[in-house]
Each structure stands twice: as C-alpha cells, then as structure tokens.
Amino acid sequence: MDSSVHLDNVVMNFGDFTAVQKTDLKIESGEFFSFLGPSGCGKTTILNMISGFLEPSKGVVKIGGKSMAGVPANKRPTSMIFQNLALFPLMTVAENIEFGLEVRGVSKAERKKTSDRLLELVALEGSGSKKPDELSGGQKQRIAIARALAVEPQVLLLDEPLSALDLKLRQHMRTELKEIQRKTGITFIYITHDQGEALTMSDRVAVMSAGKLQQVADPITLYREPQTSFVASFVGENNPITGVVDAIDGNLVTLNCGVLGKFTGRGIGTISKGQSATLFIRPELLKLGQTGDMSFTARIAEVNFEGSYLTLTALLNQQHAISVQIGAEQYTADLIPDAEIQLSFASQDAVVIAGEGNV
Amino acid sequence: MFKQLKARFGSSLSVGIIAIIGIWLIGMVILPQLIMVDYSFRPNLLPSEIGTDKDTYSLNNYETLFGNSIHLSIFAKTIWSSVLVTILTLVVSYPLAFYLAKVATPGQAALCILLLIIPFWINEILRTFSWYIILAYKGPLNALLLALGLIDRPVRFLSGDGGVMVGMVYAYILFMIFPIYNAIESLDSNQVKAARNLGAGWIRTHYRVIIPHAKPGIATGCIMTFMLAAGSYAVPALLGSPGSRWFTQIIYNWFFEGGDWNQGAAYAFLLLLICIGFIALVMRVFKVGLGDIAR
Ligand SMILES: Nc1ncnc2c1ncn2[C@@H]1O[C@H](COP(=O)(O)OP(=O)(O)OP(=O)(O)O)[C@@H](O)[C@H]1O
Ligand SMILES: [Mg+2]
C-alpha cells in the first residue's frame, strides 16, 4: 500500500506570522522520517497539517498520492502520538487502545483481541484493566503507541514522544520504536529536537529552522555534508572559523581568517572569492600532531575526561576557542591547561559554507 | 482551625471571629430551621391554646398533602417540570459552555460571558417580568412571528407551563453554564484532538471524552438548577397561569393566606426531602459521587 506523504508546496501562516515557509517534501512509504529543529521552528505545525488539525494556508498535503484537502482529521489514515500523550484518563488502558476500533464499529471480541495483541507488542500484557494514572511514564508512552497502532494507520505521527522520559528509558524506547516500525512497515514521521534521537533512528532527517527546511538527507550525509551553516552547527558538535575567501582550487576553498591564519576545507554550494565564509571542522576530526595537511598550534584551556574520550578546549591565538575530541588512549601527562599543542586536520574533512556562520 | 486563626490574629480576636461565625450559623441558619421543623409537627392553634393539652406532636400536617389530590398533583408536576427545566437548561447551556471553553478565543469568551452576566445585574423580578412582556399575547415575540409569517394568529405562551419553563431556563442558565464551563475548560485540548485523530466524529468525541470529563460540572449545574427551579416562587407567580401553579405557591398560600405556618412548614420540608431524595437517586443512576461534585 502506498503510504507516502507529500507536502506539496505547503505554507502555513498564522495571521502575519509564517510558521512554515514554502515546503515541498516527499516522505516515502515505510520510511522512518524525522523532523529535527529547535523549539518553535514549526515541527508540530507540520504534523498538525498532516493529521488534519490545521489546513495549510497554501499547497496541499497528499497521503498515498491522494489530496487531503478538505478531509477532516477523523477521516485521515494517520494516527498521532501527542507531545503529552493525551491518554484518556477516565478510560482503562484497554478502552484507550480500543477507542479507535470502537469508533470504527469493530465488535467487542475483535477489539479485545487487538488490544491483547498490542499490549503484548508493547510488553504490557495484563495491564488492560488499569487506568492510565496507575502506570509509569514509560508504560504510558507504550500505551500511547499501542493506541495509535490499533487503528492500523498508514502513517504514524510522533510528536517528541520520548521527551518526557529519562535517558535510559528513552534509549530503550528508541530501539522499541524502531523495532515496531520494522515489524509494521508503517511510515513513521518523527519529531524531535534531540539530534541523537533523529540520527540513530531515522532513514532520513529534515533539519528545520524558523519554519524553513534547511536540509533533507540521511543521517550520515547530514553529519558529513551539511549544506547550511545552521545544519553544520545544529547537528553534532562543530568548530566554526570565519574568514574571507582567499583562493578556490577545485572543490577546496581557502579562507583568510586574519590573525588566526589560513584554513582550507571543502567548499559547499556556490562560493566566490572575496566573500565571507565559515569553515566547520568537527572536534573528532581534529588530530594531535601533524597528521593532516592543515596544521596549527593552540594553547589548552581545559581538559575534560568523558570516559572513552577526552574533550580539550584549546585557544587559537589566545582568543578563538575550539574543541578537540581525542580517544582516551591518546592521553598523555603533558595535556594540561596552558600547554602548547600541535593540532591538524585534513582539509577534505572540513567544510566551508558561505556566510558569517552565525545562525 | 482555632490554632491557625490564633497564629494569625491573636487569641482575643480569634475568639471574637469564632463567636460571630457561631452566632451567625446557629442563630441565623440552624435555629430558624429547627423552629420550622418543630412547627411542622404541631397543630395550628390560636395563641391562647399554645402550650395546652392540644399542643401535641403529630404527623398530621405531613399527612394533609397525601390526602389532597390537587396538592399532590401540583407537587408531582412541580418535580416533573423542574426536571424538564433542568434538562432544557442543560441542552441550552452545554453547547454554549463548550463554545466558551474550547472554541472561542479569549476575547470572544470574555465578551460572551459579560453579555451573559449583564442581565443578571437586574433584579430577578424585573428580569422575569420582561419575559412576561416578551411572551404576552400582544407582545413582541408574537408580533415578530406574525411578521415573519410563521404563525397565523398570536400564541398564548403564558397560559400553560411554557412561559414558566422559558422564564426558569433563562433565570438559572448561569448556574448551569459556569460549572460546565469550568469542567470543560480543565479538559486538555489534546484529548479532543486525540479522539478526532483516532477517527471519532463530533458526537462520539463529546459522548466518550468531553462529557465524561465534564460530568461533575454537569451534575453540579443540574443539581443547582433543579433545586432553584423546584423552589422558585417569582417565576411561576409572574409567568404562570392559574392552571400552572407551582408547589411553592401552595406553601406560600399556607403561610400568608391560610395563616397556617405549621402546615406550610410541613409542605416545605416535604419538598426539600423529596428533592434531596430525588437528587440522590439521580446521582446514583448516573454514577456521580459527592466527591466528584466537590472536585
Ligand atoms: N495556533 C497558532 N496560532 C499562532 N501561532 C502559532 C499557532 N501554533 C503555533 N504557532 C507558532 O508557530 C511557531 C511554530 O510552532 P510549533 O508548535 O510548530 O513549534 P515546534 O517546532 O513544535 O516547537 P516545540 O519543539 O517547542 O514543540 C511558533 O512560533 C508558534 O508560536
Ligand atoms: Mg512541538
């Protein structure tokens, strides 16, 4: 069955305010697709348009190739897991799960079968007669998932479903969600502002900022080939160094960063000589010693031991802080504050993006 | 409680406060009630006979009602009509309360509430009398309906119970709207969205999600409306016709026209008891606990 979701040139305005700028995006059938972005960037608004709680100001939402214009929320093949779960507190867990089937006129015996099966799927057999308030946070979460799955939606919409959980439970639920998605083959549209979550679970991720899609790509591409400064600094750690384009040689762009020196990286998008641009280099791609073709010295300001790795904060020319991540095995006793170190990176590992890099 | 008061106001002032509350409660609320209970069990005697052998306790005053079929039928009609008034008021109030709580923007809601409250700044008698004018045989409502061609000749709204019902629905609507509004207001809007998202239409969403949540508010509103309707005097007196007498009017007659306070007190207590019993029964049927209402 085609359960793709197509945002066909969709715009959402609230009065004068544009919450979602013109977006054209196709989410494939059976894909685990995430929207990643800071608070208020329009993620929930997008879900509300897909589920039918909001009609787009312009454009249409298509599910399975069919236009959803004018189709009310209760007639769409989507089901949503709300940011605050929104379980029905006066119904039992089983009634919660069966609600969608009750609406569809499914017989009591059938409903019971489905709720038992789903309770088993979310590993909560025998909790059917409890009230939601008698469950822990993680259990409620799983009931919300079971309730959403009961109606056999083509598209499951998840609005930061794990944000209320503690770290351990969150990691556990991530694998469970992924597992459920694999078993059911439903299209998952997942919203989060936690990039770790987006990167580990998704087939593709859309990074949003201020109502605008910044980049849509698989997690590895997103991490390695950020297309905008926002993506470069929002996804993962990154060290920005801003300068003026000094030379362009093939895909390599050299920036003159004044007193900090000259740095070269891979240019992304159109960059012309003389304009300002920013080079981004990831902490783990900076090496101690002179292994890369870009090398420079810096002074250690701080050393943080994080278990399997170390984070060094070093100052370039006494002023520009950059962070460096090295394996714990590379630790030596002379890595102490105020020590002078030699750092390097391969210019192919760094990216250069036009603009000042402030987002 | 005394300790808390003492901590705040010192002991002499606390004693004063408690004394005032005590005097108020006992003197103004409990004692008069007890005196009426006492009255209701005694015969109606001339002042000179009070305290003599004739002054004995009996259930005679209570039995009078059950021996008088006219009074009994008015009694039953009062209860039944009050139920109808309650249902009508609920039907009118629920959509309005839902609109105010979940649909209207804060500005619209504030305006609506203000418009609802303003008429209640006017005395109840005047408000009721305005309905007398509206519903009159040659009143504006008939004129309007005639002008619109909906009726051929004026309707006598005020001859049956219709006028009384309309007047009461109007008089007690706020007592219904506000508890329901409060209850619906406290419902998380995501619950409504979740129901819609799972495929529920509007009727089922109300029936399965919103009404169960608002049940305590609905119960509070219904109880208040029912009690006020059953105990109302002004509305039936002004808008009723001789054929639509309310039980309160009979109680009034016993007190002030028959001069038989003892009989009137017995009737009043019967009304109170039956109303309380009726409410308890309805609460049982709809599975509403006292705790729900206090919530
Ligand atoms: N009904 C509305 N009326 C007016 N503005 C709205 C409405 N709903 C959302 N907005 C605005 O649209 C923007 C995007 O809101 P949205 O809820 O989509 O953010 P979000 O990305 O989900 O944020 P969060 O991560 O905090 O949940 C916000 O600036 C918000 O104030
Ligand atoms: Mg949100």
Pocket residues for ligand 1 (CB within 6 Å)?
A: A 14, 17, 19, 37, 39-45, 193
User: To which H or E segment does residue A167 belong?
Assistant: helix A167-184
Number of separate domains in chain B = 2
- Locate the ligand 1 atom nearest the alpha carbon of residue A35 and give its number: 21
User: CA angle at residue B288 from B286 to B292, to 5 degrees?
Assistant: 155
Q: Which of A199, A228, A257 is the last residue of a domain?
A: A228
B254 assigned to some structural domain? yes
Residues A46 and A131 in one domain: yes
Tokens of A159: 């609005």
What per-residue confidence (pLDDT) applies to A179?
86
* Residuewise pLDDT in 10s, chain B (295 residues): 777 878 888 888 888 888 999 999 998 889 988 988 888 888 888 777 777 777 788 888 888 888 888 889 999 999 999 999 999 999 999 999 999 999 999 999 999 999 999 988 888 888 888 888 888 888 898 899 999 888 888 888 887 778 888 889 998 999 999 999 999 999 999 999 999 999 999 999 999 999 999 998 999 999 999 999 999 988 888 888 777 788 999 899 888 888 888 888 999 999 999 899 988 988 888 888 777 766 5
By CA distance, what is B194's nearest residue in A? A86
Q: Kindly report the protein residue whose alpha carbon is nearest to atom 10 of ligand 1.
A: A19
Q: What DSSP state is assigned to residue A91?
A: S
Residues A220 and A258 in one domain: no
What per-residue confidence (pLDDT) applies to B295?
58
Mean pLDDT of the A304-312 span: 87
Give the number of beta-carbon pairs within 8 Å between A and B: 58
Q: What digits encode the pLDDT tens for the residues A32-50?
A: 999 999 988 999 999 999 9
Residues A123 and A169 in one domain: yes
B27 assigned to some structural domain? yes
Q: Which of A228, A254, A274 is the last residue of a domain?
A: A228
A18 assigned to some structural domain? yes
Residues B201 and B288 in one domain: yes
A359 assigned to some structural domain? no
Mean pLDDT of chain A: 89
Tokens of A27: 């989410």
Smallest CA–CA distance, residue A79 to chain B, in Å, is: 6
User: CA angle at residue B6 from B5 to B10, to 5 degrees?
Assistant: 120
Smallest CA–CA distance, residue A88 to chain B, in Å, is: 7
Residue partners of B15: CB distance under 8 A and separation at least 6: none
Q: Do the chains contact at B196 and A72, CB–CB below 8 Å?
A: yes
Residues A210 and A288 in one domain: no
Residues A41 and A182 in one domain: yes
Q: What CATH number is associated with residue A131?
A: 3.40.50.300
Q: Over pLDDT 90: what percentage of chain A? A: 50
Q: What digits encode the pLDDT tens for the residues A237-259?
A: 899 999 998 888 888 898 888 88
Virtual torsion, Cα B177, B182, B185, B186, nearest 10 deg:
-150
C-alpha to C-alpha distances, B129 to A273, B83, B141, B246, B252, nearest whole angstrom: 87, 23, 14, 17, 20
State the complex-level ipTM. Answer: 0.77
A262 assigned to some structural domain? yes
Residues A224 and A245 in one domain: no
Residues B13 and B110 in one domain: no
Q: Kindly report the protein residue whose alpha carbon is nearest to atom 5 of ligand 1.
A: A14
Q: SS3 for chain B, per residue? A: CHHHHHHHHCHHHHHHHHHHHHHHHHHHHHHHHHHHHHHHCCCCCCHHHCCCCCCCCCCHHHHHHHHCHHHHHHHHHHHHHHHHHHHHHHHHHHHHHHHHHHHCCHHHHHHHHHHHHHHHHCCHHHHHHHHHHHHCCCCHHHHHHHHCCCCCCCCCCCCCCHHHHHHHHHHHHHHHHHHHHHHHHCCCHHHHHHHHHCCCCHHHHHHHHHHHHHHHHHHHHHHHHHHHHHCCCHHHHHHCCHHHCCHHHHHHHHHHHCCCHHHHHHHHHHHHHHHHHHHHHHHHHCCCCHHHHHC
Q: What CATH number is associated with residue B208?
A: 1.10.3720.10
Q: Do the chains contact at A78 and B196, CB–CB below 8 Å?
A: no
The answer to whether B201 contacts chain A (CB < 8 Å) is yes
Q: Which of A204, A148, A141 has its CA nearest to residue A172? A: A141
C-alpha to C-alpha distances, A299 to A318, A337, A340, B5, nearest whole angstrom: 7, 8, 5, 67
Residues A185 and A43 in one domain: yes
- Locate the ligand 1 atom nearest the alpha carbon of residue A15 and give its number: 4
A265 assigned to some structural domain? yes
Question: Strand pairing of A212-217 and A340-345?
Answer: unpaired
Residues B214 and B255 in one domain: yes
Number of separate domains in chain A = 2
Residues A149 and A27 in one domain: yes
The answer to whether A74 contacts chain B (CB < 8 Å) is yes
Q: Which of A45, A83, A163, A197 to mutate to test the pocket of ligand 1 (most atoms within 8 A of CB)?
A: A45
Task: Give the dihedral sign, CA A86/A91/A93/A99.
Answer: negative
Q: Do the chains contact at B193 and A103, CB–CB below 8 Å?
A: no
Residues B182 and B68 in one domain: yes
Residues A183 and A317 in one domain: no
Q: What CATH number is associated with residue A300?
A: 2.40.50.100
Residues A175 and A121 in one domain: yes
Residues A151 and A190 in one domain: yes
Residues B71 and B30 in one domain: no
| Alpha-carbon gap, residue A185 to A205, rounded angstroms | 18
Smallest CA–CA distance, residue A194 to chain B, in Å, is: 23
Q: Name the residue with tokens 């093949």.
A: A77
Residues B71 and B199 in one domain: yes
Q: Which of A185, A204, A228 is the last residue of a domain?
A: A228
Q: Kindly report the protein residue whose alpha carbon is nearest to atom 12 of ligand 1.
A: A19
User: What three-state secondary structure class fits A71?
Assistant: coil
Residues B172 and B275 in one domain: yes
* A43 CA from centroid of ligand 2 (Å): 6
A27 assigned to some structural domain? yes
Q: What DSSP state is assigned to residue A329?
A: G
What per-residue confidence (pLDDT) applies to A222?
93
Domain assignment of residue A201, given as a range:
5-228
Domain assignment of residue B11, given as a range:
1-39
A51 assigned to some structural domain? yes
Residue partners of A44: CB distance under 8 A and separation at least 6: A83, A159, A191
Question: Strand pairing of A204-209 and A32-36?
Answer: parallel
| Alpha-carbon gap, residue A358 to A228, rounded angstroms | 11
Residues B25 and B65 in one domain: no
What per-residue confidence (pLDDT) applies to A359?
57
Residues B250 and B129 in one domain: yes
HSE-CB at B288 with a 13 A cutoff on CA atoms is: 24
* Residues of chain A found within 8 Å of residue B190, distances taken between Cβ atoms: 82-84, 86
A206 assigned to some structural domain? yes
The overall pTM is greater than 0.95: no
- Of B199, B204, B212, which has the smallest distance from its Cβ to A151's Cβ? B199
By CA distance, what is A50's nearest residue in B? B197
The answer to whether B295 contacts chain A (CB < 8 Å) is no
* A228 CA from centroid of ligand 2 (Å): 23
Tokens of A35: 């929207």
